[in-house]
Amino acid sequence: MEEPLDVLALERTGEFKGLYHVLHGAISPIDGVGPDRLKIRQLIDRADEAHRAGEPFEEVVLATNPTLEGEATAMYVAERLEPLVGSVTRIARGLPVGGDLEYADEVTLIRALQGRRAM
């Protein structure tokens, strides 16, 4: 199977040195996509296996799209992983480099403020 474009985009950064697990979509009840139609169970099984072996994953980084479906999927996965891994984090969301504040929507600005960090 071909690698999803999302993985290729992350790989191009050279920043992430861990393993990937691709869910192949997002939970979307309106479109008839429930958790069972994605690769969520396989991820939870991987984390559970590592946990039971005494070598739990230090961190699972959730990189879902910043849509309602992506947010719901991230929350669903995080709830199930929290007892099995060191920490569950989410990629930051906010303003793109070169973007103008005046054109940013309210939700993007809120996320950018919530994701701020010391300089």
Task: pLDDT band for 10, please (50, 70, 90 cuts).
Answer: confident
Question: pLDDT-based confidence at 3, cuts 50/70/90?
Answer: low
Q: Taking 90 as the threshold, does the pLDDT of residue 112 lie above it?
A: no
Question: What is the model's pTM?
Answer: 0.84
pLDDT digits (tens, 9 = 90+) for 33-92: 999 999 999 999 999 999 999 999 999 999 998 888 999 999 999 999 999 999 999 988
> pLDDT category, 4, cuts 50, 70, 90?
confident
The highest-level CATH class for domain 5-114 is: alpha beta
Q: CA 104, CA 77: separation in Å to the nearest integer? A: 28
74 vs 69: CA distance, rounded Å:
9
Dihedral class, residue 30 (left if φ above 0, else alpha if ψ from -120 to 50, else beta): alpha
Pick from 61, 57, 58, 53: nearest CA to 23 = 61
